[in-house]
């Protein structure tokens, strides 16, 4: 497991969610290596279109890299995969295993995050034992399972959720270095991105720009 100071979601400012299909022809490992050099605080293994075996093998390599960097590794959806690669935790959605079940399977020291787009979802996830919330999609995005023509919930929803819960909130969905500041100003601990880093010409520089925007 990663050092406890790094596994506090309240200290996560830049959160990379992997997805090789939008990585401009690069491998996820290449992107993650660059992002870690650029200072991201946490990596989530997503890879929705990969097989379980491919995600497992990739996860083992990511586990080595993130452990060496002292950065937490979170697995999207799959509690079994998180256990198999000894990840730091799992992030579940509203249609995945319930937060409480994930907690029972992973144990009290694991990180369990939950996606929430409404205040009601957020309150329920907190009550069930989530360590942090991923709230969005904040802005229009083609990376998440939302209509790209919709404008997203906006920073105002981030503020509403932050006011309603006591656990850290991470904004996700359509976030870039240019529009990250309002998300943090609304109370988010940090921001999670996919294409802002993975599709960038220089993922390391993109990670640095995003971190600068969040801290600013």
Please report, in range form, the residues annotated as the binding site: 44-48, 76-77, 96, 115, 141-144, 174, 194-195
Out of 23, 115, 117, 207, the active site residue is 115
Which string of DSSP letters, residue by residue, matches 124-146?
Answer: HHHHTT-SEEEE---S--SSSSS
- Annotated catalytic, 124? no
Q: Are strands 132-135 and 42-45 parallel, antiparallel or unpaired?
A: unpaired
Q: Binding site for Mg(2+): residue ranges? A: 77, 96
The region, left, alpha or beta by phi > 0 then psi within -120 to 50, assigned to residue 36 is alpha
Q: Are strands 190-193 and 73-76 parallel, antiparallel or unpaired?
A: unpaired
Q: Is 52 exposed, middle or buried (0-12, 13-18, 19+ CB in 10 A)?
A: exposed
Cα separation, 207 vs 79, whole angstroms? 27
Comparing CA positions, the residue from 93, 90, 87 lying closest to residue 67 is 87
Out of 78, 144, 204, 209, the active site residue is 144
3-state secondary structure 18-70: CCHHHCCCCCHHHHHHHHHHCCCCEEEECCCCCCHHHHHHHHHHHHHHHHHHC
- Annotated catalytic, 209? no
SS3 17: strand
- Annotated catalytic, 115? yes
Would you name the residues annotated as active-site residues? Answer: 46, 115, 144
């Amino acid at each position: 497991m990663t050092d406890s100071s790094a596994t506090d979601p309240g200290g996560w400012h830049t959160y990379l969610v992997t997805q090789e299909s939008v990585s401009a022809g690069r491998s996820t490992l290449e992107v993650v290596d660059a992002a870690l050099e650029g200072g991201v605080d946490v990596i989530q293994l997503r890879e929705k279109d990969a097989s379980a075996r491919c995600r497992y093998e990739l996860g083992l390599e990511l586990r080595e890299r993130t452990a060496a960097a002292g950065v937490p590794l979170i697995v999207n959806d799959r509690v079994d995969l998180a256990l198999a690669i000894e990840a730091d935790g799992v992030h579940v959605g509203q249609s995945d295993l319930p937060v409480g079940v994930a907690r029972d399977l992973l144990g009290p020291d694991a990180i369990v995050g939950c996606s929430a787009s409404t205040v009601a979802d957020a309150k329920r996830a907190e009550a069930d034992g989530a360590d942090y919330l991923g709230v969005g999609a904040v802005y229009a995005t083609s990376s998440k399972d939302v209509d790209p023509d919709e404008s997203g919930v906006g920073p105002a929803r981030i503020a509403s959720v932050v006011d309603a819960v006591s656990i850290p909130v991470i904004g996700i969905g359509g976030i870039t270095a240019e529009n990250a500041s309002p998300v943090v100003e609304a109370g988010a601990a940090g921001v999670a991105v996919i294409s802002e880093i993975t599709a960038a010409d220089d993922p390391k520089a993109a990670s640095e720009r995003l971190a600068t925007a969040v801290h600013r």
